Amino acid sequence: MTNQSVEMKCACSSGDQAGRTWLQSEEHAYTYGGAQVRRGRAIYPDGKVRAVRAGIPDTFFTVPAHGRIAGRYVSGYLTHNEKGWKFHFASRAAAS
């Protein structure tokens, strides 16, 4: 068995950020004794595509994640729609 990094790229056709967001597959999070973290890129509330670190989905609709904005780490969650992966802040006060 090989340890391949499979990415879930967005096959979206609408929006200017289409195709630029992605998230590693859930299989990547189950490494041999390592942290359950996946890498990806998502659209932040300001419209920019930035790096995120995500965990295992906690519901059918959201994936817990954290990212960095204005030099600070913020926690939140990822959702997916026709425009790609979008990062939502759990605490907006941390980013200001």
Tell me which of 20 and 36 has the higher pLDDT: 20
Counting Cα atoms < 13 Å in the Cβ hemisphere of 46 gives 9
Tokens of 53: 């670190």
Structural domain boundaries in the chain: 7-95
Distance in angstroms (rounded) separating the CA atoms of residues 25 and 16: 24
pLDDT, residue 75, reads 93
The pLDDT tens digits of the residues spanning 26-77 come to 777 776 666 788 999 999 999 999 999 998 888 888 999 999 988 899 999 9
Sign of CA dihedral 7, 11, 50, 76: negative
Burial of 88 (0-12, 13-18, 19+ CB in 10 A): middle
pTM: 0.71
